[in-house]
Chains A and B, each alone.
Chain A
Amino acid sequence: MIQLDHIERVFQVGDQKVHALHDVGLKVERGEYLSIMGPSGSGKSTLLNIIGLLDRPSDGQYFLDDKDVSLLTEKEQAKTRREKIGFVFQFFHLVPRLTAAENVELPLVLAGMMPGERKQKVSEVLQAMGIGDRMHHRPEQLSGGQRQRVAIARATIMQPTVILADEPTGNLDRASGKEVVEILERLVDNGLTLVVVTHDPELGQRAKRQIKMVDGSIVSDTLRSV
């Protein structure tokens, strides 16, 4: 489903070139559970952004569902992000002035769905995350774990095929981090593809397939031995 070939990503910082990704090749099948680990600055986030169509590679090819994404227009890319990809971030990225429900509703709003239909979906998803009673609270009134669950609800409401999580537990304590991980893993059980970037070896080792990155390259790609 996701196929990366010889991906390069070079950032120009002043008159210096930063090689964030170098000759990265990766193939991910539908329903896979993948963790990406590696030292800081090894290019994990950059890789995730490219997979999520937030960034474009400097070189190489990226096929999503057998389609070359570099041929998509800006609008088509936005549509792809909206419909196929869900993001979960370390810092939650909830809109502070909107309630939990309104935050979760955002992708549906952007898709132009009618309000009646939206309300139903939003409350279903929030119930499933176990925060149905916090629907009308603002992010600042929620705990970190609850915020991340709102963010996951938002990432899943469009029923995407891939969830990209960049250090989803990085800002959470152990207990709520574990809860969040369990929620994410439940998504895999339901057939979604999950890519998690993490610094936490314990979390990384829970994934069936583990990738290690160093200096912009994939140095190992192993399957968990059960």
Chain B
Amino acid sequence: MLLKDYTHLAISSVVRNRFRSILTSLGIAIGIAAVVLLTSIGEGINKFVLSEFTQFGTTLIGINPGRTTTHGMAIGVFGSVRPLTIDDAQALKKVPYARTVVSAVQGNAEIESHRKRRRTTVYGVGSTFPEAFSLSVASGRFLPDDDPVSARAFAVLGSKLRKELFGDASPLGKRVRVGGHRYRIIGTMESKGQVLGVDLDDAIYIPVARALELFNREGVMEIDLVYSEQAPVDEVVAGIKRILIARHGSEDFTITTQEQMMDVLGSVLNILTFAVGAIGGISLLVGGVGILTIMTISVNERVSEIGLFTALGATRLQILGLFLGESILLAMVGGLVGLGVGFGGAQLLHWLLPALPTHTPILFVVLAECLAILIGLLAGVLPARRASRMDPIEALRTE
């Protein structure tokens, strides 16, 4: 028997019971649509977050005070932790392949211009900060490379803060008070938007030594080191360790490479995608049970047809194929509709919420349809087997 004829017979039966077929396929359609839509969103978010993370470049290494054990507990809570200092940062410039080193302190303070005040984020950073984090200056210049100990009271404004305090007027040369201390504005930054929920635009940048004073801290919060592209990460990390251990006497700091961050991020996102897939999987299971049910009913209704086919010389295998074909067709149609709805839904969502990126990998689409077909196959096996084992004389006795 030709494949074309199996298809034709399956279609004729599915079309004959249009309404029922639509309802049955709907289960699979919803499942596939859910899987496609949710994974599209998941993949989109995945891509989005990854690009956010790599915005600062992939050759960035962060060093924080305190040692994080594998259990995530900082040993520093008990033992002695020496703060990371500006001098440490200076020393780290000697790490092999190091291109830039920047130390950073962050806090909140009140900013006051001649008539407005606003509480916002203060970043104490070094002169190489824009270079390290791929930021650019909009007007004026960034903080100069002063001797950290006697850094001049200069400040640079983020784009949003500049607008808040000065409107459209140029703030260059104006004075602001940061936590009560006077600073002169020497530059403004280009807008960067939100990066991982941190608004770098609503911020003011001042020299790190002054920020330490302002927040009454002994050490910086983080030292970031950018190394050259081709450098072996291991060697850079080893260099950092060697220098800091020599200065501190023990490894009382934590080094985080971009690679590690991506790994952690990747596994979190994988779990997310998996959970989403599981939800879709459950709806597919329900859809599969729907097909199983309707195929069982269908076999019962068509007992006499099965008898007839046997009388006409159909083998058991052919009867099995006829019913399997039907359940696969139901699942396939449901799957295609689901793909359409899921893909369309993802596009629509992206159109409605441009901030929410969606991405539907073609491999996913193919896999989803294969999955639908597989479900149809599995759901059809039991009813089709029952049909193929039916006793033809019993089957023909019914009218």
Contacts and interface: CB of A to CB of B under 8 A. Distances in A.
Interface string B386-399: 00000011001001
A107 B313 contact: yes
B115 interface: no
A87 B311 contact: yes
Interface stretch (A21-29, A110-118, A192-200): A110-118
Label chain A's interface by main secondary structure. Answer: helix
Nearest to B314: A110
B359 to A, nearest CB: 43
B393 A78 contact: no
A89 B312 CA distance: 12
A158 B312 CA distance: 10
Given A81-B312, A111-B313, A95 B318 contact: no
Nearest to B318: A110
Contacts of B2: 109, 112, 114-115
Interface string B286-308: 00000000000000000011011
Interface string A82-113: 11000101010101111000100011011110
Contacts of A114: 2
Nearest to B17: A97
B315 A74 contact: yes
A109 B6 CA distance: 9
Interface in B1-20: 1-2, 4-5, 9, 12-13, 15-16
A112 B314 CA distance: 11
Interface in A28-57: 46, 49, 52, 54-55
B316 interface: yes
Contact of A97 (B12, B308, B311): B12
Interface residues of B, number: 27
A49 B394 CA distance: 11
A75 interface: yes
Interface in A134-189: 154, 158
A190 to B, nearest CB: 21
Contacts of A55: 392-393
A115 B1 CA distance: 11
B256 to A, nearest CB: 67
Contacts of A206: none
A148 to B, nearest CB: 14
A67 interface: no
A110 B311 contact: no
A115 B311 CA distance: 22
A79 interface: yes
A167 to B, nearest CB: 12
B315 A75 contact: yes
B312 A107 contact: yes
Contacts of B15: 97
A19 to B, nearest CB: 16
A119 B12 CA distance: 18
B310 interface: yes
B97 interface: no
A109 B308 contact: no
B112 to A, nearest CB: 83
B215 interface: no
Contacts of A78: 310, 313-316, 318
Interface residues of A, number: 32
B183 interface: no
Contact of B313 (A46, A79, A96, A97): A79
B53 interface: no
A92 to B, nearest CB: 10
Nearest to B311: A87
A114 B4 CA distance: 10
A115 B4 contact: yes
Given A54-B311, A81-B311, A107-B313, A95 B5 contact: no
B309 interface: yes
Contacts of B313: 78-83, 107, 110-111, 158
User: Looking at B2, B311, B316, B399, which has the most chain A CB atoms within 10 Å of its CB?
Assistant: B311
A109 B9 CA distance: 10
A39 to B, nearest CB: 18
Contacts of B314: 78, 82, 110
A54 B318 contact: no
B257 to A, nearest CB: 64
Contacts of A95: 305, 308
Contacts of A46: 393
Contacts of A52: 311
A80 to B, nearest CB: 8
A110 B309 contact: yes
A74 B316 contact: yes
A83 B313 CA distance: 8
29 contacts: A49-B393, A49-B396, A54-B393, A54-B396, A55-B392, A78-B310, A78-B314, A79-B313, A80-B313, A81-B311, A82-B312, A82-B313, A83-B313, A93-B305, A93-B307, A95-B305, A95-B308, A96-B16, A97-B13, A98-B12, A102-B12, A107-B312, A107-B313, A109-B1, A110-B1, A110-B313, A111-B1, A111-B313, A112-B2
Interface of B: 1-2, 4-5, 9, 12-13, 15-16, 304-305, 307-318, 392-393, 396, 399
Question: Nearest 10 pairs between A and B by C-beta?
Answer: A82-B313, A97-B16, A78-B315, A81-B313, A93-B308, A87-B311, A109-B5, A54-B392, A55-B393, A107-B312
